[in-house]
């Protein structure tokens, strides 16, 4: 039994009766500090479900935010003190790098006997801030929706962490609120959450951040060059997911990468895997490369049975490219260094990605599906190895990819949010003209893929 299954089975709470939920909706207040994308999503979902919701953002934005959301069913207050004073459950929806500062500011105003939680993707610093700055009579039940703000919450994994509960009703009350999202509830401790989110997100983000950074460095939109390279279903998925990441805010990814120690090890190993595999490419060490990749394949996919998560026909229609191949025209085989490196990385770290499927993000499921397709489609891995050893069409691009992966790894190891933001926003600016269209296509692709992968 996997770690996730164990906690999913052991920590489920009994069904909450509808009368008690109706009473809570009449008598309780839910507060949200931070009206970024996810804070806004929660505010809209909870208030639409009939909860009394109050929110705030930065005090200097109060007038603008109040006007912007004047027609919403939630109420905007001037600051976190006012939210904390009236709320029975307060959710801090702020950047990971600011969680300690914001909780220190507003935590002392927490209503007596209330519950506090947060939305950050790394829970260790969040829990430390709560324990340090909240009154002792405050219960702590924190959450994490494992998806972005533009993904339908229904059926997506939602982690609930029952950290400190002195009142029997505290956890059922939070569960009742979260049921508004119609997500799958997963029950963990904060330590387990951080290990699992590192396993399912850190390397996924590093791979697609590195792809985008490499294309930026060579000043190339890969979908514009015809069908010679980066054409077809696998390439569509890589392009769409990379652009999807760069269409979000930098701190969404920086928080997990920099504040989660488990993520550091994985991002370093990913850069190491990419470097070592590329070294085998340029030295034409086919036997050594094949042996290493077959070992990784056996470790990650050795117990695989049944259908693949994805197939090329699903992905082919989700392309930014406007080109259509003429009869007999073929596409050059790609070395797929980014995908080979992730499977090698999982093998080197002893991570079985299937153990965490119930707690995986949509991007992780797609990335796993694409990697699975590459390694398990008959003949495709062999074609990829041949392209890596004998082909030079992607050699310069692979070099840029290795440099980008090592650069992201260095930034994370330095723990620099400023450097992370600078590099992220440079790449984001390069792709900015295409982000709107990429998001539209990417949303459709993700919807189709998630429906298929169920």
- Report the pLDDT value the prediction gives residue 191, as an integer from 0 to 100: 92
Q: How many CB atoms lie within 10 A of CB 67?
A: 9
Q: How many CA atoms lie within 13 A of 276 on its CB side?
A: 16
CATH number at residue 94: 3.40.50.720
Per DSSP, the three-state class of 145 is strand
Q: Tell me what the mean pLDDT of segment 331-335 comes to.
A: 83
- Domain end point (choices 173, 188, 203): 188
Parallel, antiparallel, or unpaired: how do β-strands 75-76 and 89-92 relate?
unpaired
Q: Which of 60-69, 92-101, 249-258 has the lowest mean pLDDT?
A: 249-258
pTM, two decimals, is 0.80
* Secondary structure letter of residue 290 according to DSSP: H
Residue 450 has pLDDT above 70, yes or no: no
Tell me how far apart the terminal alpha carbons of the chain are, to the nearest angstrom: 20
Phi, psi of 386 (to 5 degrees): -60, -40
Task: Kindly state whether residues 178 and 267 are assigned to the same domain.
Answer: no
- Domain end point (choices 156, 173, 188): 188
CA distance 196 to 193: 5
Please give the residue that has the higher pLDDT: either 272 or 354. 272
Task: Kindly state whether residues 179 and 31 are assigned to the same domain.
Answer: yes
Can you give the residue range of the structural domain that contains 30? 3-188
Per DSSP, the three-state class of 309 is coil
Q: What radius of gyration, in Å, describes the C-alpha atoms of the chain?
A: 23
CA distance 212 to 391: 22
In contact, 236 and 315? CB cutoff 8 Å = yes
- Report the pLDDT value the prediction gives residue 70, as an integer from 0 to 100: 94
Please give the residue that has the higher pLDDT: either 426 or 147. 426
Task: Kindly state whether residues 63 and 198 are assigned to the same domain.
Answer: no
pLDDT of 165-214, one tens digit each? 999 999 999 999 999 999 999 999 999 999 888 888 888 889 999 999 99
Q: Which of 13-27, 54-68, 136-150, 226-240 has the lowest mean pLDDT?
A: 226-240
Strand order in the sheet with 52-56: 75-76, 52-56, 29-33, 89-92, 115-118, 139-145, 157-164, 184-187
Per DSSP, the three-state class of 433 is helix
CA distance 353 to 364: 9
Buried b (16+ CB within 10 A) or exposed e, 292-329: bbeebbebbbeeeeeebbbebebbeebbbbeeeeeeee
- Domain end point (choices 127, 153, 188): 188
Buried b (16+ CB within 10 A) or exposed e, 77-105: bebbbbbbbbbbbbbbbbbbbbbbebbeb
Question: Who contacts 248 (Cβ-Cβ below 8 Å, separation ≥6)?
Answer: 37, 148
Mean pLDDT of the chain: 87
Please give the tally of structural domains in the chain.
Answer: 2
Task: Kindly state whether residues 99 and 172 are assigned to the same domain.
Answer: yes
Task: Kindly state whether residues 338 and 432 are assigned to the same domain.
Answer: yes
Task: Kindly state whether residues 274 and 289 are assigned to the same domain.
Answer: yes
Task: Kindly state whether residues 283 and 137 are assigned to the same domain.
Answer: no
Per DSSP, the three-state class of 161 is strand
Helix (H) / strand (E) containing 443: helix 417-453
* Nearest one of 101, 64, 362 to 208, comparing CA atoms: 362
* Nearest one of 435, 410, 438, 415 to 425, comparing CA atoms: 435
């Amino acid at each position: 039994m996997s770690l996730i299954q164990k906690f999913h089975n052991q920590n489920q709470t009994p069904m909450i009766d509808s009368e008690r939920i109706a009473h809570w909706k009449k008598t309780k207040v839910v507060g949200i500090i931070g009206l970024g994308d996810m804070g806004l999503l929660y505010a809209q979902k909870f208030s639409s479900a009939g909860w009394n919701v109050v929110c705030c953002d930065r005090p200097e934005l109060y007038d603008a935010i109040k006007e912007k959301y004047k027609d919403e069913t939630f109420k905007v207050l001037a600051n976190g003190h006012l939210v904390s004073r009236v709320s029975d459950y307060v959710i801090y929806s702020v950047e990971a790098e600011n969680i300690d500062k914001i909780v220190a500011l507003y935590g002392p105003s927490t209503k007596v006997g209330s519950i506090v939680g947060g939305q950050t993707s790394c829970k260790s610093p969040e829990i430390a801030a709560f324990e340090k700055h909240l009154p002792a009579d405050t219960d702590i039940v924190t959450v994490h929706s494992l998806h972005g703000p533009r993904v339908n919450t229904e059926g997506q994994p939602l982690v609930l962490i029952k950290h400190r509960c002195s009142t029997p009703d505290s956890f059922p009350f939070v569960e009742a609120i979260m049921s508004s999202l119609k997500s799958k509830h997963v029950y963990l401790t904060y330590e387990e959450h951080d290990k699992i989110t590192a396993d399912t997100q850190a390397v996924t983000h590093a791979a697609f951040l590195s792809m985008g950074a490499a294309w930026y460095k060579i000043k190339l939109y890969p979908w514009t060059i015809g069908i010679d390279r980066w054409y077809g279903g696998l390439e569509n998925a890589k392009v769409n997911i990379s652009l999807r990441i760069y269409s979000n805010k930098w701190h969404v990814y920086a928080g997990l990468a920099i504040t989660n120690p488990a993520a550091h090890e994985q991002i370093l190993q990913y850069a190491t895997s990419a470097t070592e595999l590329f070294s085998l490419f340029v030295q034409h060490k086919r036997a050594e490369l094949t042996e290493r990749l077959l070992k990784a394949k056996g470790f990650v996919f050795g117990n695989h049975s049944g259908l693949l998560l994805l197939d090329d026909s699903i992905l082919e229609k989700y392309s930014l490219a406007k080109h259509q191949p003429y009869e007999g025209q073929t596409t050059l085989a790609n070395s797929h260094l980014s995908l080979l490196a992730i499977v090698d990385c999982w093998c080197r770290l002893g991570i079985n990605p299937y153990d965490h499927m119930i707690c995986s993000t949509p991007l992780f499921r797609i990335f796993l599906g694409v990697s699975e397709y590459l390694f398990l489609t008959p003949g495709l891995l062999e074609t990829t190895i041949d392209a890596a050893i004998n082909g030079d069409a992607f050699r310069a691009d692979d070099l840029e990819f290795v440099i980008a992966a090592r650069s992201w790894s260095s930034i994370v190891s330095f723990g620099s949010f400023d450097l992370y933001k600078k590099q992220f926003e440079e790449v984001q600016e390069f792709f900015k003209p295409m982000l709107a269209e990429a998001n539209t296509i990417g949303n459709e692709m993700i919807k189709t893929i998630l429906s298929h992968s169920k």
